Amino acid sequence: MAVNARDIRRRIKSVKNTQQITKAMKMVAAAKLRRAQERVEQARPYAVKMEEVIGSIASGSGSANHPMLVKRPVKKTGYVIISSDRGLAGGYNSQIIRTLVNEVRGKSKDTYAIFTIGRKARDFFKRRNYPLVGEVTGYPDSPTFADIKDIANQVVKLFQDGVYDEVFLLYNEFISPLTQIPTSRKLLPLEDLGNKQQKPEPGVLTAKYDYEPSAEAVLDNLLPKYAETLIFSALLEGKASEFGAKMTAMGAATDNAGEMINKLTLDLNRARQSAITTQITEIVGGAEAAAGK
């Protein structure tokens, strides 16, 4: 019993050390989540306003036939998937990877290609010989547009050149620290932007703009930037989702460690009681044997 008690004490100490680590990781993730959530909230209005401006130009100038706005027969599809570089984030990576796997299931590898942002997605698809054509890894906890600019430019250019007829963006949309929704969004073509303008209410004045050198030239410049902005916004959403998932996962791990410590402490007390009972029994037995002599 003494050996068992010693083993239990060793396990309790090990679990306590693990609990300290998971608790610290939860606090770090919570601090990073606050900053990431602020960036998401700042980026969302920008993307919405940019869509509104582009839609206004497209609908007002008759430029809705721009190549980036027109749907064409699909021969090859590109997928941009955003994951994390590290694990310990619950189902954050597995759920978005599963979403893409389900989308390409049954498709020939000649009909699609995958661009990965994050090491987890890259390693998954590379090990399984999926058609991986671009990757970004090692981006910081507070990413900047420069971190994904190259792959964003590459995706937009390949679409403009006709290599891909449509491009989908897959990421985890941040709802709350407990909820992250795997999202698949058509990135290109930017369909119906010119048709999304809300009709002004009666009596409300609307602004009209003149563009220099022309509305078409402004649209040529803005559309690629808008597609790149969508990728960057999705990256910010992904980062906030990652930290939310990590905070939740590490919180659950800390709670589980506490429950395990309580159970081990109970087992230790039982082992001590059993050892004491055995010792008393041996003493009483020895005394009775001595008295019988």
Domains of the chain in sequence order: 25-196+208-248 (3.40.1380.10)
User: In the prediction, which pLDDT does 1 show?
Assistant: 45
C-alpha closest to that of 228 among 276, 188, 170? 188
Tokens 């989540």 sit on residue: 33
Over residues 286-291, the mean pLDDT reads 72
Residue 259 token pair: 């429950």
| Residues 186, 184: Cα–Cα separation, whole Å | 7
Residue 287 tokens read as: 């005394």
- Tokens at 15, concatenated: 């679990």
pLDDT (0 to 100) of residue 84: 94
Q: For the whole model, what pTM was predicted? A: 0.83
Write down the pLDDT at residue 206.
62
- Sign of the C-alpha dihedral computed for residues 179, 40, 142 and 50 taken in this order: positive
Minimum mean pLDDT range among 49-53, 180-184, 241-245, 289-293: 289-293
Number of residues assigned to the chain = 293
Coil/strand/helix, residue 101: helix
Return the axis-axis angle of helices 215-292 and 2-61, rounded to nearest 10°.
170
The C-alpha atoms of residue 252 and residue 243 are separated, in whole angstroms, by: 14
- State pLDDT tens for residues 173-213: 999 988 999 999 999 888 766 555 555 555 555 666 677 77
Provide mean pLDDT across the span 105-111.
92
> Among 35-39, 59-63, 179-183, 266-270, which is the least confidently predicted range?
59-63
**Torsion angle defined by CA atoms of residues 264, 22, 175 and 222, in that order, rounded to the nearest 10 degrees:** -160
Position 17 pLDDT exceeds 80: yes
Looking at residues 108-127, what average pLDDT do you find? Answer: 94
Average pLDDT taken over every residue of the chain: 86
